[in-house]
Structure 1
Amino acid sequence: MEEQSNAAAARTGRAALTTMVDLHRATGRAVHLSVLEGRDVLVVESLTGRTTPPAPPQTGERLPAHATAAGKAMLAHYPAEWLALYLERPLERVGPQTIASIADMHRDLEDVRAHGTAWDHQESGAGACAVAAAIRRADGLPLGALSISGFFGALAGTRSASALRDAAECLNGRIRADPRLIHL
């Protein structure tokens, strides 16, 4: 597994800030940029929304990747061999709906690959919902994930997912076009 250094994560965060601000303005929701470090998602940038769920992710916070939309968005794009190693250890329950079954996780990650977005429906905590899309290198491996969060039941699925996919594609293009960021 490739882990980003803190400096690389900071560069990715700076490159993403404009896209994050645009997404924040369009949705009014909290927007986050996360990277994968070990088995955790590390939030490297965060903008608070007009309505924020209880205990929203904060910059510097770590959460188990399998229990977050951002983590699942990234996990879905790693090679099968790497994912098998990740799933060797038990999937810890974090929220009331955390996926703890390997078979259920595989189904969820297939859905992420098919639709381009990952969802967290109270998996990372009670009352919270998030949708995320991977930020990927030209070879398809994830650099990080962009996500928006809100209260469970209030995050409009289709509109939020569409806005997020558009923002992630914009950010993917910007990162791939900037030679300093292409190999993060």
Structure 2
Amino acid sequence: MARPEGGSDEQAGSAAPDALDTVLGKAVAVLRAFRIDDRYLPLAELVRRTGLPKGTIHRVAGDLVAHRLLDKTPYGYRLAGGLFELGMRAATERTLIEVAMPYLQDLYERTHETVHLGVREGTEVVYVAKIGGHRQARSPSRTGGRMPMHCTAIGKALLAHADPEVRAAVLNGPLERHTPRTLVAPGLLARQLDQVLEGGVAYEREESTAGLLCVAAPVLDTDGTTALAAISVTGRVGRFRPESHENAVRASAAALGRMLTRRHRT
């Protein structure tokens, strides 16, 4: 993969021009300037990524430090623990992780490969949990990170069960090539999505990252068509056969779906 799933420079701190006219908009632009792999950002880099004046960045960053959303260090600014506390209060994701973790742990024990839990946000996958052992495959995925839907197994599992408008937006939009094996032909991707609906699992074969294979299954709602999330198992080419884990992934996703449905009803 050409870059971490945190996105490009343009995505990291981008905001609509009107949003930057407000204090809140400026603060959000500063926070979103941080990518998934950034530990510290100097003031000058925040200015470059946001396009805001140096004085504005200095003032906004100072307010964020006062509210424990940023820390100021000798190396620059970094995201602070207050953001983690707020994030853990997000009810939907927190409940999903709490309910899903036993199933993810069981799946890891059965496969001893990297296990992911992801949800759809717009036309991207957001990874909300990841479990991997000592031999876990080197993957660009990070908890809280994003990946395009068209080149990931979790993304295909979610996209196959998404509304027609979402599916059309992905198929008709630019299908960025991340490796030589990335599917960039809308017709081929559409056929794979139809196969996901028929077989209940989606595959990725070195489409987001060279050397990685993956199998995923959707976590379906009570109607059996809406995907609440998706679970995947990832391994390295040469020792990992995704087909051999198909039943385990499908069973874990189905069990999690039933549990989420029961909790919703009570």
TM-score, normalised via structure 2 length: 0.63
What SS class does the counterpart of residue 178 from structure 1 fall into?
helix
Q: 1:152 aligns with which of 209, 215, 237?
A: 237
Answer whether contact 2:150 2:170 (CA < 8 A) is retained: no
Report the alpha carbon displacement of residue 120 of structure 1 after superposing the two structures with TM: 0.7
Q: Distance between the aligned counterparts of 1:124 and 1:49, measured in 2? A: 21
Q: 1:133 aligns with which of 217, 224, 228?
A: 217
Structure 2 residue 82 is the aligned partner of structure 1 residue 82: no
Structure 2 residue 200 is the aligned partner of structure 1 residue 116: yes
Q: Distance between the aligned counterparts of 1:128 and 1:6, measured in 2? A: 31
Report the alpha carbon displacement of residue 115 of structure 1 after superposing the two structures with TM: 1.0
What SS class does the counterpart of residue 49 from structure 1 fall into?
coil
Query: 1:163–1:61: structure 2 CA closer, same or farther, 3 Å change rule?
Result: same
Report the alpha carbon displacement of residue 54 of structure 1 after superposing the two structures with TM: 2.3
Gaps of 5+ in 1: none
Q: Distance between the aligned counterparts of 1:153 and 1:38, measured in 2? A: 34
CA RMSD of aligned residues (A): 1.8
Q: Which residue of 1 aligns with 2:156?
A: 72
Report the alpha carbon displacement of residue 28 of structure 1 after superposing the two structures with TM: 0.3
Report the alpha carbon displacement of residue 154 of structure 1 after superposing the two structures with TM: 2.4
Higher strand share: 1
Q: Which residue of 2 aligns with 1:48?
A: 132
1:54-87 deviation per Cα after TM superposition (whole angstroms, max 9, x unaligned):
2352211111111100000010112334311332
Residue correspondences, number: 177
Report the alpha carbon displacement of residue 108 of structure 1 after superposing the two structures with TM: 0.8
TM-score, normalised via structure 1 length: 0.89
Structure 2 counterpart of 1:29, one-letter code: E
Q: Which moved more, 1:47-56 or 1:170-179?
A: 47-56
Higher helix share: 2
Structure 2 residue 123 is the aligned partner of structure 1 residue 23: no
Bigger-Rg structure (1/2): 2
Q: Distance between the aligned counterparts of 1:152 and 1:35, measured in 2? A: 25
What SS class does the counterpart of residue 124 from structure 1 fall into?
coil
Q: Which residue of 1 aligns with 2:253?
A: 168
Percent identity between matched residues is: 34
Structure 2 counterpart of 1:58, one-letter code: R
